[in-house]
Structure 1
Amino acid sequence: MLFAAIDQWRAPAPPAGKVAWLKGQVYAHRGLHGHGVAENSPAAFAGAIARGLGIECDVQRSGDGQAVVFHDWELDRLTGDTGAVGDLSAAQLGKIVLTGGDDTIPTLGATLAQVRGQVPILIEVKSRRDRRIHALCLAVRRVLEGYRGHHAVMSFDPRVSRWFARHSPQTVRGLVVTEEGARTLSGSARRHLALWHARPDFLAYDIRDLPSAFPEAQRQRGLPVLTWTVRSAELAERAAVYADAAIAEGGGIG
């Protein structure tokens, strides 16, 4: 009861109309990738749009302060290049070909221009706890200014949601959560502390942790719960019961 009361005080539920569009969707995790189509690529996003799927993508800051769409901190896994993404400018990154196709690393601006509000988009802001987040969040907000399609930002880092709550309150913001087996009192306390700091409009919860009392309590009081990464029909069935929308890939999309 104490946690519930503080939740309502420190992280009040958003207006229902602000977050209604999040529900009932399937979001293609890093776009509709696979079979020669790279994750977080224009081709993957085009595939999701063609299927009428929402899009989830990853964004980090380039060396010259622009928001670029790429998951890993290093280039090695997803390209033929090596080194840190943050060491290169957006223009340099835009010349690097993603493995498995002809696409290069896009900026968030180019991605939003491609989507054009045709489907909703979730933007996971990649951060590191040892780095300040102001410049990163500002780079994302600048690109989002004037974008009229349904969109939301989210992050594992509670500071990101908190930043948008303070500096861009009209932007729908989410907290990404994984319990990692910590269903103890201390684990629950950490999740509530993260919630209170983040002040999110929704949660994006690890499907491996569902069902769970924490997200269900937040869902009951008005925070939509999305779940990731749904990779099979079985997990899709679980998501349909315990969440409001699925972030899916492969067999989880159907």
Structure 2
Amino acid sequence: MMQEPRRTPLPSGFLTRPIAHRALHDRAAGRIENSPAAIRAAIAHGYAIEIDLQLSRDGVAMVFHDETLERLTDETGFVSERSATELGQIRLKDSSENIPTLTEVLKIVAGQVPLLIEIKDQSLVMGPTDGRLEAATAKALAAYTGEVALMSFNPACIYHLAKLAPNLPRGLTTAAYDEESWAPLPPEACEHFRAIPDYDATLSSFISHEAADLASPRVAELKASGADILCWTIRSAAEETKARAVAQNVTFEGYLSPLPA
């Protein structure tokens, strides 16, 4: 019997261990974002890990940020046009590793550190989704026992996950939705999502908000109502100090965030 959707609290590990953005990547060292090497490095340092998911043509959750292959590989085209087997044979640029599946990453992490998973918007317009990536994610996580949480910019993804994985913590990735940066998303859509209207309806327990917009009154309102506040993406110790005046934890890259004593 399917469980009723409910608001599931964020585990404490997500509030105490800094979160390595796309894992602890360092291209010069051959650790590409979202790669197994970057994931192992984050584990070795004791950091929580943030990863991104895209969907293969045959319905497998792949750990990869972009919709297309060009930036991170020598291939071209959409991730969604390739099978999981094909994607798994594609070498990441400046690396000896290939694109991993979520299942492969879960075997590496194995509950050693918290894992924050961002479901990338498959509609590409922040609209309704078919639920295939959400279902693939829930299936891969069904037997996973480590600390894990799910989030997405697109509330439609979280609506699906509230039904598919009601026992897992869910949240919204949120932003100032600057109209120029988010083009071609229409201005009225930017205004809509800027207000974070879907927080309660999706039974979210946290947001991960754009660091430069942490002073937003809506963020303060959500925090006062009990939402946990994470943020993205911090790139220096000075930025981290400023962000922690509002956020309970940071998602960082490009430096080593201090771990709690």
After TM superposition, the score normalised by the length of structure 2 is 0.85
Cα deviation, residue 100, structure 1: 1.3
Q: Is the 8 A contact 1:177 1:206 kept in 2?
A: yes
**CA RMSD, Structure 1 to Structure 2 (Å):** 2.1
Deviation readout 1:132-184 (Å, 9 max, x if unpaired): 231110000000001000001100000111112223210111101001358xx
- Distance in 2 of aligned mates of 1:49 and 1:195: 30
The one-letter code matched in structure 1 to 2:142 is E
- Distance in 1 of aligned mates of 2:109 and 2:65: 19
Q: Does 1:21 align with 2:25?
A: no
Q: Does 1:238 align with 2:242?
A: yes
Match of 2:215 among 203, 207, 211: 211
DSSP 3-state at the match of 1:23: helix
2:176 match? 179
1:4 match? none
Q: Structure 1: any 5+ residue segments left out of the alignment?
A: 1-11
Identity %: 36
Match of 1:161 among 149, 158, 163: 158
Match of 2:114 among 106, 112, 120: 120
Structure-to-structure mapping, 1:34-113, within 5 angstroms: 34=26, 35=28, 36-113=30-107
Equivalenced residues, count: 239
Q: Structure 2: any 5+ residue segments left out of the alignment?
A: 1-5, 180-189
Q: Return 164-173 or 38-47, whichever deviates more.
A: 164-173
After TM superposition, the score normalised by the length of structure 1 is 0.87
- Distance in 1 of aligned mates of 2:60 and 2:40: 22
Residues 188/68 of structure 1: CA separation in 2 closer, same or farther (3 Å cut): closer
Q: Does 1:223 align with 2:215?
A: no
Residues 189/130 of structure 1: CA separation in 2 closer, same or farther (3 Å cut): closer
- Distance in 1 of aligned mates of 2:200 and 2:62: 29
Cα deviation, residue 201, structure 1: 1.4
